[in-house]
Amino acid sequence: MTPRFDVIGVAVSDMAAALAFYRRLGLVFPDGSESLPHTEAELPGGLRLALDTEETIRSFQAGWRPPAGGGGRVSLAFLCDSPAEVDSLYQELVDAGHHGELKPWDAFWGMRYAVVHDPDGNGVDLFAHLPATD
């Protein structure tokens, strides 16, 4: 049997804050997950995004500590339908109090690109393909 990539795991310091952030990005978690130590959302293509509180991870992985200075736990990228959606979603998240790491810009590789941080400082990329130019 060949192993199959199945789950992306994120360590979170505040489950409710993390859920609010990822729900703004369209992910669906079970109701009441704010009080759980572990929760998952199904992603397109059958993958899952799992959120675990730091306490939960420490309970089964003795000596685990979050990276110093926050962040660096994982990076996720969300494909948007249009460059305008990148701009509006970036602004919505910043207006909701999330750190905007990189304002939307037209990247040389043909995408509208922006980066925000989730509540734990993880980079979350927002991108859309730019229209082809002649």
Cα–Cα distance measured from residue 18 to residue 51, given in angstroms and rounded to the nearest whole number:
8
Predicted local confidence at residue 77, as pLDDT: 85
CATH number, domain of 49, equals: 3.10.180.10
- Mean pLDDT, the chain, integer: 88
Average pLDDT, integer, range 65-78: 74
CB 39 within 8 A of CB 31: no
SS3 67: coil
Task: Check whether residue 29 and residue 80 sit in a common domain.
Answer: no
pLDDT per residue over 75-112, tens digit each? 788 999 999 999 999 999 999 999 998 899 998 888 89
Give the number of domains in the chain.
2
Both structure tokens of 88: 């509006």
Partnered with residue 50 across adjacent β-strands are 9, 40
For 81, the domain range is 74-134
CB 111 within 8 A of CB 129: yes
Residue in this structure with the two tokens 């310091």, named with its chain if needed:
13
Task: Check whether residue 110 and residue 133 sit in a common domain.
Answer: yes
